[in-house]
Each structure stands twice: as structure tokens, then as C-alpha cells.
Amino acid sequence: MSFVPSKSSAAPIVASVIDTFIAPPCLAQIEILFEDEAILVINKPSGLLSLSGKNPLNLDSVHYRLVQDFADARLLHRLDFGTSGIILVARNKHINGLLTQQFQHRSVTKTYQALLMGKLSADSGVIDAPIAKDAALFPRLKICELEGKTALTEYQMLSYCEQTDLSRVQFTPITGRTHQLRLHSQHIGHPILGCDLYGGIVEGSKKPVRMMLHAQTLAFTHPLTDERMQIHCPCPF
């Protein structure tokens, strides 16, 4: 039986995409790397959501935990569920607005470390590959020259292990698109180890305990003192 909408229907029927992901419990704790009256800089553990999900089973998150002690805490940016490392947090609305301007002007700089599958053909370079959404791919994104938004990533290979066939790489994202480092790694043929969305799991092999991506440095100007700050969080893998 087919459904034919009545002529009185005012709005088109749009198929919604349902996220069925349920995060397993995360026992690891958030580490506070820096704290004052204006900001927090924290180390997010892998396996913890940045923000609580719509599903009530995904309540636990960085934000949910922080507001228990810092009632007006506001995340300036997010890290993917499997990514560990530095997140900058404003402690009130005013500070959030000041720091948001720094992100918009790209005066906040970040570096990440990752383990990529295989050996890179070049020791360094820039990945220029626009990123677009596609409902059919949800929750994945795609590289698309026509529809994508500009996405730029600088990379530097730090080392290569022949025994494991893994490259340790430092990433410096110039833009901050969702899944940028994960998708750009796949784009150059070297997915991040443990990345289940973009080819980081070898079929038939044991899945790594986590995604091997870590936000290791964050540099910004303190919103009250104008001091240029650089926070470092050592890579745990």
C-alpha cells in the first residue's frame, strides 16, 4: 500500500536520521590541566562524549561532569568520542564570547598526535580536501570538491615502525571541520588506527582499545590577562 499525502498537507515529510550509538561506561576521569576564575583547560579521556547525547543513555559527558562543579561551564570546542586530549572551557557566558572570537579568527592553534596505518610517502605536507555532509553516509562525512567546506591540515611524520607498519604523525589543523583529521587521514590512504568510521580497523584483526588520536597542544590568548598561553598534554600512546 502506498501513502498519498492529502492536498491540505502543509509541510513535506522528511526522513530523519536516527543515531543508535550508545556509549559504553567511561570510568576514566577528566584531568584539569589549568584552572582560574575565567577558564578551565582539561584532558578528556578517550571513550567519553564531549556533550551529552539526545538518548538518555548517553547522559555522561565532559560537559555533564564539569557542570557538577562549575555550573556555567561552556565548551569552546569538542573532541570526538574516541579522541583524548585538550579541551578549552569557559567558566561563564562572557568569557565564552571572548574566546569564541579567537576561534573565529583562527588565532587558537592546536596540534594532535596520531598513529596512522602504513608508511607515508612524504614526511610532511598539507592536506587540502573539502568536507561535506551526506545524510546517506551518517554519521560519516565525505570529501567533496563541489559541496564541501574548505578543510586544511598540515602534517609531519615523527617516526615509522616497520614491525607494526604504523606511522606516528603530528597534525596541525588549519580549519576545524568535524572529523577533519580522521577523514583527511583516510583521504591520503593512511587511516588513523582504531578509527571505525574511516577505515582504521583491519578486517579480521583485533580492534584497538581506542582510536589513536590525541589533542596534545593548545595555544590561545587568555581572555582577561592577554597572556599568550600554550598548554601541553603528553600523548598517552
Positions annotated as catalytic residues are 80
Are 22 and 34 spatial neighbours (Cβ–Cβ below 8 Å)?
no
Report whether pLDDT(117) > 80. yes
CA–CA gap between residue 96 and residue 207 (Å, rounded): 38
**pLDDT class for 33, splitting at 50, 70, 90?**
very high
Beta strands of the chain (E only): which ranges? 31-35, 39-44, 74-75, 84-90, 109-117, 124-128, 131-132, 142-143, 152-161, 166-173, 213-221, 228-232
Neighbours of 109 (CB within 10 A): 13
Residue 65 in 3-state DSSP? helix
The predicted model gives 44-63 an average pLDDT of 96
Report whether pLDDT(6) > 80. no
pLDDT, position 208: 79
Are 198 and 185 spatial neighbours (Cβ–Cβ below 8 Å)?
yes
The model's pTM is 0.90
pLDDT, position 2: 36
Query: Cα separations (Å) of 206 from 63, 82, 152, 194?
Result: 32, 17, 32, 10
Q: State how beta strands 213-221 and 84-90 pair.
A: parallel
User: pLDDT tens-digit profile of 118-161?
Assistant: 999 999 999 999 999 999 999 999 999 999 999 999 999 999 99
Domains of the chain: 31-232 (3.30.2350.10)
**pLDDT class for 18, splitting at 50, 70, 90?**
low
The predicted model gives 204-210 an average pLDDT of 79
The contacts of residue 231 (CB under 8 Å, 6+ apart) are 33, 34, 41, 86, 217, 218, 219
pLDDT, position 204: 72
